[in-house]
Amino acid sequence: MDGIIPLYKERGLTSFDCVAKLRHILHTKKVGHSGTLDPGVDGVLPICIGSATKVVPYLMASGKVYRGSVTLGFATTTEDLDGEEISRQQLTQPFSLVALKAAAATLTGTIQQTPPMFSAVKVNGRKLYEYARAGETVERPTRTITVDHFTLTDAGTFDETAGTQTIGFEIGCSKGTYIRTLAVDLGRALGVPAVMSDLTRLKSGGFTLDQAVSLDEVASAVAEERLDDVLRPIDYALQDFPHVALDDHLWGLVKNGVFLSAHEVSSSAPTIALSYQGQTKCLYQWSDEKKQYKPLKMFAVN
């Protein structure tokens, strides 16, 4: 049982909850997810089964797309609605779409981001949320992220009584991006406190929301012995790499870790996926030192 399930994670479940439930449904321990989703967020969560757990890094490296909303006028400890309110500044009038788009534009491209205190990022061997829950502060390392687009379709809705403005957005970004931090930074660019008030992941690991299946659908597929309906091949995570089909002779070399020449694989790409009898077996990477392709990651030797 090897492959990838594009799971639809429901709200209220942690990513580990999903892994635990699938281990029970599939009767296997070798299950791993490719990128955590907070309990209050729903959407696409690719789950790797069996030897597919080896491709988790490649799924995580794929870009992600989110749809959600940011509310201007107050902020919380967690940067979303799950936290305690820490500041409020009532808006007397809504920001214009022009002003909102200008602020969002400053948060696109390759930028630096500081992860929130309530996150699983580790500092000195402890997760940031452990410091936060203990009431401790610690210097947080910045990270480089890429925001491909931060799209606002309109100026959203203005609540005159509450003094808040809620705006919908769509964000395409690299791995390691905290969307709730982008929401807070949007408010900062406008000079007001802000919070992420809703979020759904539309795309991850090359899978889109309309391809995702629920835990119940997976359970039904197992019960009806049609797991192939929900299990995608390992190769789905490797579509960005050039593929080379091996003959019997070359496969005999590759499964024993033998280096290959560029001539043998007819390629000049830095990394290639090698397949045998229609199944992707491994990744090979070019070595300038050896002037040959060498094994990078082996998925199957049978």
Which range among 46-60, 68-82, 116-130, 137-151 shows the weakest confidence by mean pLDDT? 116-130
Q: What's the pLDDT score for residue 234?
A: 86
Digit-coded pLDDT (tens) for 24-79: 999 999 998 877 888 999 999 999 998 888 888 888 888 899 999 999 999 999 99
Reply yes or no on whether the pLDDT at 202 is more than 90.
yes
What's the CA gap between 124 and 63, in Å, rounded?
28
CA max distance for the chain: 75
The mean pLDDT of the chain is: 92
Reply yes or no on whether the pLDDT at 19 is more than 90.
yes
At CA 253, angle to CA 48 and CA 288, rounded to 5? 85
Q: What's the pLDDT score for residue 40?
A: 92
> Which tokens in the block code for residue 175?
């791995």
Residues with active-site annotation: 38
Which range among 15-24, 38-47, 236-245, 281-290 shows the weakest confidence by mean pLDDT? 236-245
Reply yes or no on whether the pLDDT at 122 is more than 90.
no
Q: What's the pLDDT score for residue 99?
A: 97
Reply yes or no on whether the pLDDT at 17 is more than 80.
yes
